[in-house]
Structure 1
């Protein structure tokens, strides 16, 4: 239904996706991204010439609540500063994480500087790609966060192995 992007991700997307056409490897994504509303969280003045783009006002939490009321599916791609704000305000229903088998040591961190303790629950079994990338889908859960339990039978602990 809609994209919610931080300014840097929006700038990257706006420089690429409007120039992609249907068909080819990126065709379906281009058609989708070019046809849905795009909301940009920015303190500056981004170039909003990409069709369907709107800058959010200064009250991010209120703006995101309004977007969530208006659209059934709101996707955030990249935009880690924005993601950290959404996590802090618990303005998400689902958190999709891709864990890639590389160790960089530097770069942007999803949970930079920590995050507000929040319970999440795994919504579906992890899926691993052929090169070792693992996809994890979590949902916001109620209750007080607790430590994980690695003694479950599917972890190989306590089975005499």
Structure 2
């Protein structure tokens, strides 16, 4: 079982999830290797019919899945999305949606996460699946970003 040795949620909150996630009001509320949770308001993220925009679900899912993959990758490595898909099963019209991200596969070079997005009543609205490629940062411009090296360490315990 994988156990965290430091506070991953604090790392995520300090690093941030990028300007798009911030503009959409995404807030991380729980973050471990095994489970990451974030919420996003419906208001401000709707399409013309006042339903949560389908792309907004995907932004929430990619924000969760990418951050979770980067936590798994650890210092000196960067996880980048290579595939994402979503199945929308219900429309959210008000309140917040909550995404719960769990790993399907945590490998040395690839990760796959599933994100279940529910409305305030706990009804599933969308299911997102994201695959990330883990790259070494050696001699890459991204390697100079100090935020990447502040990732919490993980301890693999069997």
Scaled to the shorter chain, the TM-score interval is under 0.3
Larger fraction in strand: 2
TM-score (norm 2): 0.24
Q: Which has the higher contact order (CA 8 A, sep 6+)?
A: 2
The higher radius of gyration belongs to: 1
Question: Scaled by the length of structure 1, what TM-score is found?
Answer: 0.24
